[in-house]
Amino acid sequence: MGNEAIAMGAIASGVNLVAGYPGTPSTEVLETVAKRAPKNVHVEWSINEKAAMEVAAGAAYSGARVLVTMKQVGLNVASDPLMSLSYIGVKGGMVVLVADDPGPISSQTEQDTRTFAMYSKLPVFDPSSVKEAYDMIGEAFKFSEKYQTPVIFRPTTRIDHGYETIDIKEEFEWEKHEIEGFLKDSSRWVIFPKLSFINHAKIEKRNSELTKVLSEYNGNFIEKATAKYENSKVGIITHGISYAYLKESFGEEHPKILKVSTPFPFPEELALKFADGLDKILAIEELDPVLERAMLMTAGRRGLNIKICGKLTGEIAPSGENTVASVNFAARKFLGEQTEERAALPDIKLPIRPPVLCAGCPHRASFYAVKVAMKGEKTLYAGDIGCYTLGNAMPLDMCDTCLCMGAGVTIAQGVWRAEKDRKCFAFIGDSTFFASGITGVINAYYNGADITVVILDNSTTAMTGHQPHPGTGKTARGDVAAKVSIESVLKGIGLKTVETVNPLDFNKSVETVRKVAAEDGVKAIIFKSPCVAIHKSKEKSKVNPEKCIACKKCIRELGCPALIMRDGKAYIEESLCVGCALCEQICPAGAISGGRTNEA
């Protein structure tokens, strides 16, 4: 896997510390380091990306080689330290891995980290294959150390989750990097306006020089037009997985290509060589038109008479992923070749398959308890980022808003401020609570809001594949760690009512919600039950067809994937059921039995 290759490349480069926060498609990088790195490499799941960035920066100040991992929206959380760090710089090599998600396949935004790199004035590496990612991560460390600056490394989903046969270094070939230690120097490490002024000028000068240096970098290269295209005055500039799609489409015979691995600083000298003799250039890229704009600037500055097209001119789609087909279509049309229309989608109506909460997921029980308890009331259900965002689907329909990590707690306060007769609930998972929910609860308590905070505590970071967090008592390496109690945190803030209940005990849950929601001020319910993907149960619920009255209440109300109708009666798919027994507790005919007993 690309992420594993990146991790192995970092280990081979003598990385001393790796910190990150889970987020698709970046997660497996840190997981692989945790599994494969020598014991003296510190690996941690930090509580959020800002914490990870700062821990890593401190180590890099001390001369350690460090890697920070996150997804693109995680960089927003870590942008405060990163923007300043750009001015301060580092001593040990510091690579900030940010995985972008064109599509988006599993993200809130389609932001482009190449643009962020330009904004933060940091060099960025953009690999186009698993093999290249493996080699490039080592080059990124060297580059960072040479220029004493953090560098960004940004693969996209197709690199992170792509597989490829590659050769990697043996353990005896791995570099060993000795940490020099922190040298006190307040003129270097303390950011003051004057230092920022001086360093800003240095950074601009460095980046201007890097446009020449990077023109020589072997990740940026020109492929000459082959015989068929020898007389063509059309060239294509591209990057990342789109380069692979272009090569796949054209095979042996292709036009002139400029492949860019460092979109910022843009290798301007190389781009000039590329543009020489061309009339038209097509920029094929995903997310923002970064190469297109850089090429436009280069042409403008150097007075080239050349037409530059891409996303800004409509040849390439402004959003979503590129595909082999879309790249082939756009490139051949631009070259004036006959192209087949894109392959048609099947002309038959196929079922849509949105992701759903797993059968037996405790979140379903938590949402359903609140729904039943608040029936007929004017409510707001603010959701957050995690599996439980899937509570928005019918028939639960229990997620009215979702914005970004931790926002549910604060959005609920804002809605309540605007409309005080609305009962506002904020649903937040345990990992998200630690990442950025706590500050929101303090804000509500201090400012006297009236909301119910519902913690969905399944003792893991489920959505990204079950990483530990401060509430689990486990480290990234699987060792025992100090455990933080959510209940104590909430009580420590000052909340008087913090009720913990097992959501799979339906009646007790409904009763608890009614009681807690009726109180004034900030109060919390902790629904505590482990994720079913980790804690499997042997017990299974079964429908007694003799007793089933075919009212379909279980199917209609719960939306559990294990519940279907068969031969006119409710039926439970045995391979999916984990015996959560929620359906047993709501069946009006008492027709379902066999699951776990959940009384506390």
Partner 1 sequence: MKRSILLAGVGGQGTILASKLISAAAVKKSIPVKTAETIGMAQRGGSVFSHVRLGDNASPMIPPKGADLIIGFEPAEAARHLMFLKDEGTVVTATAPVYPVSALTGGAPYNVESVIEYLKANVKRLILVDTEKLLAEIGNSKVLNTLLLGEAIRSGALGLTAEDIMVAMKELIPEKLLDINKKALVG
Site of interaction with partner 1 (CB under 8 A): 24-25, 105-106, 130, 157-158, 161-165, 241, 244-245, 247-249, 251, 323-325, 328, 342-346, 348-358, 387, 390, 393-395, 555-556, 559-561, 563-565, 575-576
Give whichever of 275 and 531 is closer to partner 1, judged by the CB atom. 531
Between strands 66-71 and 17-20, the pairing is parallel
Give whichever of 355 and 492 is closer to partner 1, judged by the CB atom. 355
CB of 445 to partner 1, least distance (A): 33
Q: Furthest-apart CA pair in the chain: how many Å?
A: 84
Which residues, 6+ apart, have CB-to-CB distance to 146 below 8 Å? none
CB of 247 to partner 1, least distance (A): 4
CB of 183 to partner 1, least distance (A): 43
Structure tokens at 212: 């020449």
Place of tokens 């500039």: 237
Give whichever of 394 and 482 is closer to partner 1, judged by the CB atom. 394
Give whichever of 158 and 528 is closer to partner 1, judged by the CB atom. 158
- CB count within 10 Å of CB 461 equals 27
Q: Nearest-CA neighbor of 406 among 446, 444, 363, 367? A: 444
CB of 220 to partner 1, least distance (A): 18
Q: How many angstroms separate the Cα of 48 from the Cα of each of 53, 382, 573?
A: 9, 21, 38
Give whichever of 227 and 394 is closer to partner 1, judged by the CB atom. 394
Give whichever of 225 and 560 is closer to partner 1, judged by the CB atom. 560
Give whichever of 56 and 130 is closer to partner 1, judged by the CB atom. 130
CB of 504 to partner 1, least distance (A): 19
Give whichever of 7 and 358 is closer to partner 1, judged by the CB atom. 358
CB of 448 to partner 1, least distance (A): 37
Give whichever of 63 and 383 is closer to partner 1, judged by the CB atom. 383
**274 vs 235: CA distance, rounded Å:** 8
Contact 126, 102 (CB under 8 A): no
Contact 155, 125 (CB under 8 A): no
**306 vs 258: CA distance, rounded Å:** 15
**449 vs 452: CA distance, rounded Å:** 10
CB of 438 to partner 1, least distance (A): 26
DSSP string covering 169-210: --GGGS-----------HHHHS--HHHHHHHHHHHHHHHHHH
Q: How many angstroms separate the Cα of 393 from the Cα of each of 382, 400, 559, 560, 584?
A: 14, 10, 9, 11, 22
Structure tokens at 69: 């991992």
Structure tokens at 440: 């929101």
DSSP string covering 356-405: -PPTT-HHHHHHHHHHHHTTTS-EEEE--SSGGGGGGSTTT---SB--ST
Give whichever of 11 and 241 is closer to partner 1, judged by the CB atom. 241
**384 vs 558: CA distance, rounded Å:** 20
Structure tokens at 324: 């082999």
- CB count within 10 Å of CB 597 equals 10
Q: How many angstroms separate the Cα of 464 from the Cα of each of 107, 160, 183, 385, 455?
A: 12, 14, 38, 11, 18
CB of 397 to partner 1, least distance (A): 11
Give whichever of 202 and 556 is closer to partner 1, judged by the CB atom. 556
User: Exposed e or buried b for every residue in 248-281, given b needs 16+ CB within 10 A?
Assistant: ebbeeebbbbbbbbbbbbbbbbbbeebbeebebb
Give whichever of 40 and 575 is closer to partner 1, judged by the CB atom. 575
